[in-house]
Amino acid sequence: MANHLSAKTRIRRNERRTTINGNRIGRIRTHVKQVEAAIAAGDKPGAMAAFRAAQPEMQRGAQKGVMHANTVSRKLSRLSARIKALA
């Protein structure tokens, strides 16, 4: 158990941030799954709409440090290419 006041504060802060970061990652995963489901169904307008909703959520995750910026860029690029490939 932590003895210093700063260590106790850090423990409380880390618990709060873990919850917030986990929720953010969950939202990102949900948005990506919605895009992939629309792609699998062959629904290009639906996939585009889901992609437009997912893009800022993923970028925000990179900005907040939940995901690496290059990972987000790679995933967005691959999703975009799959949407463009739909007839």
Burial of 77 (0-12, 13-18, 19+ CB in 10 A): exposed
- pLDDT score of 2: 82
- pLDDT score of 87: 78
- pLDDT score of 60: 97
Handedness of CA 44, 47, 49, 55 (dihedral sign): negative
Class of CATH domain 5-85: mainly alpha
Tokens describing residue 30: 């949900």
Q: Which of 63, 75, 66 is nearest to 31 (CA)?
A: 75
- pLDDT tens digits, one per residue of 52-65: 999 999 999 999 99
- pLDDT score of 38: 97
